[in-house]
Amino acid sequence: MKFLNHSYGQNVFVLDSLSSQTWLSELCQEQTTQPRLNQLISHLYRQLLLTYIDLFFDSQPIQIKTRMATQHPKEGVFSLPLLSKSIQAISVNLARAGTWPSHICYDTLCDLLPSKNIRQDHIFAARISNHEDMVTGAHLGAHKIGGSQQDAYVLIPDPMGATGNTLSTTLSYYKNHVEGKAKSYIALHLIVTPEYLKLMQTNHPDTLIFCHRVDRGLSPDLVLNSPLGKFWDQEKGLNPMGYIVPGAGGLGELLNNAYV
């Protein structure tokens, strides 16, 4: 997998993929509704997750006995590095923009690794806005966290990295209130903004960020025609209500058919 060049930091990975941009462009169009939305989310999140796995998950050499070993006992066996069976991973479902992204990650992880090593946590999160509908923070409500995070890859699939308040608050909760030390924190997004990246680099520079696109559509023309992050302080992707431009238009409402 290729990645776009940018100046947002070495922990940020922006996929450079024709297939993902084709799916994502369809997802963002007004005529795209359910069930196609969930189909597109599935394609895009599997691609994000598998890209991360190929780069960062631990491996171990394993000897494989093929069907041809009955006729060629020596030659029908080969050894190569595969995913380590000791890997532990947690997918954190942020029940705000929709549960589907985390379900896809959880299901894919269980398909690749021993299911006893995989867990899905659940957190109910909501934006906090002021009287002018400007996002000022995030509130974490009820949660179901199934134990320690010790030595686990903690993945947080959240489609839109907009203001960053929800992700930052969630990460702070895991670091300060969940038992154990995680092996790594990973944020998985369809689209992020420069504002989101700035907040995350300030509050959680240890987090790896994977995304399909960086949206900065409200930036001046000079900035839009420049490489990603070159004029980071002038880049703008959020409107006054905290929605991404060009973005996908309130994806949480669209995924759930719940317009509140």
Q: What is the mean pLDDT of residues 107-132?
A: 85
Q: How high is the pLDDT of residue 208?
A: 98
Residue found by looking up tokens 């024709």 in the block: 18
Phi, psi angle pair for 169, to nearest 5°: -65, -40
Residue found by looking up tokens 């002018």 in the block: 132
Give the three-class secondary structure for 122: strand
Q: How high is the pLDDT of residue 13?
A: 98
| Number of neighbouring beta carbons within 10 Å of residue 16 | 13
Give the count of alpha carbons within 13 A of 25, CB side only.
6
Q: What is the mean pLDDT of residues 32-37?
A: 95
Q: How high is the pLDDT of residue 127?
A: 60
Q: How high is the pLDDT of residue 133?
A: 54
Q: Is the pLDDT score of 231 beyond 80?
A: yes
| Entry field: residues in the chain | 260
Q: Is the pLDDT score of 131 beyond 90?
A: no
Domain range summary for the chain, segments of one domain joined by +: 2-56+84-256
Q: Is the pLDDT score of 134 beyond 60?
A: no
Q: Does domain 2-56+84-256 correspond to CATH entry 3.40.50.2020?
A: yes
Q: Is the pLDDT score of 138 beyond 70?
A: no
Q: How high is the pLDDT of residue 95?
A: 81
> Six-digit token pair at 134?
């400007």
Q: How high is the pLDDT of residue 255?
A: 86
In which band, very low, low, confident or very high, does the pLDDT at 18 lie, cut at 50, 70 and 90?
Answer: very high
Residues 89 and 115: beta-carbon distance below 8 Å: no
Q: Tell me what the pLDDT averaged over the chain comes to.
A: 92
In which band, very low, low, confident or very high, does the pLDDT at 260 lie, cut at 50, 70 and 90?
Answer: low
> Six-digit token pair at 175?
């670091």
Average the pLDDT over each of 82-86, 96-100, 206-210, 239-243 and give the range with the smallest value.
96-100
Spatial separation of the C-alpha atoms in residues 1 and 246, rounded to whole Å: 25
In which band, very low, low, confident or very high, does the pLDDT at 258 lie, cut at 50, 70 and 90?
Answer: confident
Residues 161 and 210: beta-carbon distance below 8 Å: no
pTM of the predicted model as reported, rounded to 2 decimal places: 0.93
Residues 162 and 236: beta-carbon distance below 8 Å: no
For residue 123, the cross-strand partners are: 94, 143
Share of the chain above pLDDT 70, in %: 92
**Rounded to the nearest 5 degrees, what angle is found at the Cα of 32, between the Cα atoms of 29 and 35?**
155
Spatial separation of the C-alpha atoms in residues 8 and 23, rounded to whole Å: 24
Q: What is the pLDDT of residues 77-105, one digit of tens each?
A: 999 999 999 999 999 999 876 689 999 99
Give the three-class secondary structure for 83: strand
